[in-house]
Chain A
Amino acid sequence: MTILNMVQAINHTLRDEMKRNDKVVILGEDVGVNGGVFRATEGLYQEFGANRVIDTPLCESGIVGLAIGMALYGLRPVPEIQFMDFIYPAFDQIQSELSKFRYRSGGQFSTPVVIRTPYGGGIKGSHYHSQSTEAFFAHTPGLKVVIPGTPYDAKGLLTSAMRDPDPVVFLEPKKIYRTVRGEVPDDEYTVPIGKANVVREGKDVVVFAYGSMLHVALEAADLAAAKGVSVEVVDIRTILPFDIELIMSSVKKTGRVVILHEACKTCGFGAEIAAQIAERGILSLKAPIVRVAGFDVPFPYALEEEYMPNANRVLTEIERVHNF
């Protein structure tokens, strides 16, 4: 057991799996000699060489397209897109090819690619280094979309992703790359894709969150506890396919729901959770389903703090549904 931050946990996981499976290759911009701009691939080029840790030209559609071809041939590519904000040149490859190969080939071909990309705000990165557009990918059958919220889950989920038979978009909350530390077992383990996690038990209100917002939810739960409100916090962890069973069990238990994400509100992933709860469990509800989300604006720079959901904003909504 070692105390690691998330980026260290990711680095260790990549190294361990590359040692175990010689079909795993890493590719992307600055991932080799430089070890990645966030250092997620630090030391891997030196350890595994240029054939397995590949510095590519600056071209996201090429990186993902190349990874698809490598996967079709039988490798397990793990491309890094330097920031999620730059993934869009590869959107066609992800939407039209990566997610469709198994289906359109009648199951003859598969593309087990893990696209790692840092996402989200809170680093003073402005519009092009801060967005969280996970909903685009969650709207794509054929993909799995995974978002760890702790170093422990980052290792367990990334290990699962690299062994999954299907393509995975692995979104790394860069705000907590280094700010959140936690115990990470040295030994091999996996966290299953598609399973949420009750991070904090509570009985009055449930907050569903993921990524860096998990920690905002936990902070809000502390504030609420001081006011006598017992808050359950659920880390969604995988948004496609998401854990409907656990979500509904927390809804039934508490009857009051706050959904939290930093992505903008309209058509954000929270809308899907809200709709599922409404379809399946409206009679369990004692209050309206409430979302705390980013505003429907391009990601700001100077006013970033005001944009990002914070514990007080979440607390206000917890109290609102509690007192409804």
Chain B
Amino acid sequence: MTLEVLQVIKPSGELVEKMDPEIPTNELRRLYRVMVLTRNLDTRGLQLQRQGRIGFYIGCLGQEAAHIGSAYALKPEDWVFPAYREIGSMLLRGITLKQLLDQYFANAEDVQKGRQLTNLFGVKSVNYVPGSAPIATQIPHAVGAALAAKIRGDPIVTLTYFGDGATSENDFHAGMNFAGVFKTPTVFFCQNNHWAISVPVERQTASETIAIKAQAYGFEGFRVDGNDILAVYRTTKQAVDKARKGEGPTLIEAVTYRMGPHSSSDDPKRYRTERELAEWQKRDPLVRFRKYLEKKGIWNEADEKHAQEETNREIDEAVEQAEKLPRPALETLFTDVYAEMPWNLEEQSRQLRREKLGEGTG
């Protein structure tokens, strides 16, 4: 079971028999639109960095189906513990373009007050916990929150995203092991994009698959075509339903590909071939889903044009607004270290204010 890669939409756009996801038409169209928005935002994010307008960018090009399809299986009351290559899941859960662009520009209205690199982001009101750069540290958090919910009797599920590289980390083991022992309502969602910066997945593990690792922790693992949004949704939905029923955790390995660089600081030409990239470009998740929608007769050229134009216009507007806003206020350097500011931070804050006054910019 764990070696098989589940597919629902064939590369041609045809549905695999008996695999109809039973998603209403308007929802299918909405999912595709979120994929388009994600792709366009991702493209713009890297451009903004290349133009020197934002400091850093870390993208999800090619992985849209994997993280949007999985996030779609969650309820609003469920919690997400992301890595950083899942912006589509943020958009799907209701994080706005304004919130994201304010974060990219690290401006005064960024809800994180300009304190994290681009796309290390989260918003409490949609139970989306901000990601961090250390790899896999979020995995035990997802298990802890799930255990807390279980103790409190809340019927919620936590889902954590991570990459293939993260499965080598201690915290992957810790999280999987605790989840198995405590049978927590947790979905471990691995976006196996084949590359952890320059290191291929074959260098992360000698295991035949990532999904198979679940067996050693006493629960199920599944492999799914990560570029097939309906397959991802179907598999994740089963895992989420199982977790909500109290039947414990699941590991899902979504087999996908990072079509872009690791980050704006990375040049993938140093470690992988154009040919490999070209092979995966043929399996583009947006193309596949669009073909499916077109064959189903619920998407056409005019819809596509409209979605492209509309999402780009929305992004243009959010960029324009976010770029105009000032940097976060000086005192935010010192707030939120603690709930109440201790004397040493008060003192250092006064020192910085004096320094700024001395420069005549205070």
Partners in one complex: yes
Interface residues in chain A, defined as those with a beta carbon under 8 Å from any beta carbon in chain B: 25, 51-52, 56-57, 59, 61-62, 64-75, 77, 89, 92-93, 96-97, 100-110, 141-142, 144, 165-166, 194, 241, 244-245
Is residue B44 within 8 Å, beta carbon to beta carbon, of the partner chain?
Answer: no
CB of B178 within 8 A of CB of A56, answer yes
Alpha-carbon distance A219/B143, docked complex (angstroms): 48
Alpha-carbon distance A26/B258, docked complex (angstroms): 41
Q: Chain B's nearest CB lies how many Å from the CB of A86?
A: 14
Q: Chain A's nearest CB lies how many Å from the CB of B332?
A: 8
Is residue B98 within 8 Å, beta carbon to beta carbon, of the partner chain?
Answer: no
With most chain B CB atoms within 10 A of its CB, the pick from A61, A141, A144 is A61
Which residue on chain B has the smallest CB distance to residue A141? B337
Question: Which B residues between 322 and 345 are near A, CB-CB below 8 angstroms?
Answer: 335-340, 342-344
CB of B113 within 8 A of CB of A106, answer yes
Inside 8 A of A104's CB, which chain B residues have their CB? Answer: 112, 115-116, 120, 130, 132
Which residue on chain A has the smallest CB distance to residue B181? A57
Given contacts A109-B124, A109-B130, A110-B339, A69 and B177 within 8 Å (CB-CB): no
CB of A61 within 8 A of CB of B148, answer no
20 A-B pairs with CB atoms under 8 Å apart are A57-B178, A62-B140, A62-B171, A65-B139, A70-B147, A73-B148, A73-B152, A74-B152, A75-B148, A77-B144, A97-B141, A102-B337, A103-B337, A104-B112, A104-B115, A106-B111, A106-B113, A107-B335, A108-B123, A144-B338
CB of A65 within 8 A of CB of B171, answer yes
Scan B141-158; emit 1 where CB is below 8 A from any A CB, else 0: 111111111011000001
Inside 8 A of B81's CB, which chain A residues have their CB? Answer: 69
Alpha-carbon distance A113/B112, docked complex (angstroms): 21
Beyond the given pairs A70-B145, A104-B116, 7 more chain A to chain B contacts, judged by CB atoms under 8 angstroms and listed by A's residue number, are: A102-B337, A104-B115, A104-B120, A104-B130, A105-B129, A107-B335, A144-B338
Is residue B79 within 8 Å, beta carbon to beta carbon, of the partner chain?
Answer: yes
Given contacts A61-B171, A74-B148, A75-B151, A66 and B178 within 8 Å (CB-CB): yes
Q: Chain B's nearest CB lies how many Å from the CB of A207?
A: 23
Is residue B134 within 8 Å, beta carbon to beta carbon, of the partner chain?
Answer: yes
Given contacts A72-B129, A104-B112, A62 and B175 within 8 Å (CB-CB): yes
Alpha-carbon distance A89/B145, docked complex (angstroms): 20
Alpha-carbon distance A165/B336, docked complex (angstroms): 11
Which residue on chain A has the smallest CB distance to residue B79? A73
* Interface size classification for chain B: 35 or more
CB of A108 within 8 A of CB of B122, answer yes
Is residue B170 within 8 Å, beta carbon to beta carbon, of the partner chain?
Answer: yes
Alpha-carbon distance A97/B344, docked complex (angstroms): 22
- Please name the 3 residue pairs, one residue from A and one from B, whose CB atoms are nearest each other, closest first: A69-B144, A65-B140, A62-B174
Inside 8 A of A69's CB, which chain B residues have their CB? Answer: 81, 140-148, 158
Is residue B42 within 8 Å, beta carbon to beta carbon, of the partner chain?
Answer: no
Which residue on chain B has the smallest CB distance to residue A69? B144
Q: Chain A's nearest CB lies how many Å from the CB of B170?
A: 6
Alpha-carbon distance A100/B140, docked complex (angstroms): 16
Q: Chain B's nearest CB lies how many Å from the CB of A130?
A: 25
Inside 8 A of A141's CB, which chain B residues have their CB? Answer: 337
CB of A97 within 8 A of CB of B145, answer no
Alpha-carbon distance A74/B154, docked complex (angstroms): 12
Alpha-carbon distance A195/B79, docked complex (angstroms): 38
Is residue B227 within 8 Å, beta carbon to beta carbon, of the partner chain?
Answer: no
Scan B309-321; emit 1 where CB is below 8 A from any A CB, else 0: 0000000000000
Given contacts A57-B181, A73-B79, A96-B132, A108 and B144 within 8 Å (CB-CB): no
Alpha-carbon distance A108/B113, docked complex (angstroms): 10
Is residue B110 within 8 Å, beta carbon to beta carbon, of the partner chain?
Answer: yes
Q: Chain B's nearest CB lies how many Å from the CB of A235?
A: 19
Inside 8 A of B175's CB, which chain A residues have their CB? Answer: 62, 65
Given contacts A93-B140, A104-B130, A70 and B113 within 8 Å (CB-CB): no
Question: Which B residues between 159 and 180 are near A, CB-CB below 8 angstroms?
Answer: 170-171, 173-175, 177-178
Q: Which of B123, B147, B343 contacts A241 (CB 8 A)?
A: B343
Which residue on chain A has the smallest CB distance to residue B146? A69
Q: Chain A's nearest CB lies how many Å from the CB of B110?
A: 7
CB of A107 within 8 A of CB of B151, answer no
Given contacts A102-B336, A106-B336, A194 and B342 within 8 Å (CB-CB): yes
Is residue B137 within 8 Å, beta carbon to beta carbon, of the partner chain?
Answer: yes
Which residue on chain A has the smallest CB distance to residue B114? A106
CB of A97 within 8 A of CB of B115, answer no
Q: Which of A57, A65, A89, A105 contacts B141 (CB 8 A)?
A: A65
CB of B132 within 8 A of CB of A61, answer no
CB of A108 within 8 A of CB of B151, answer no
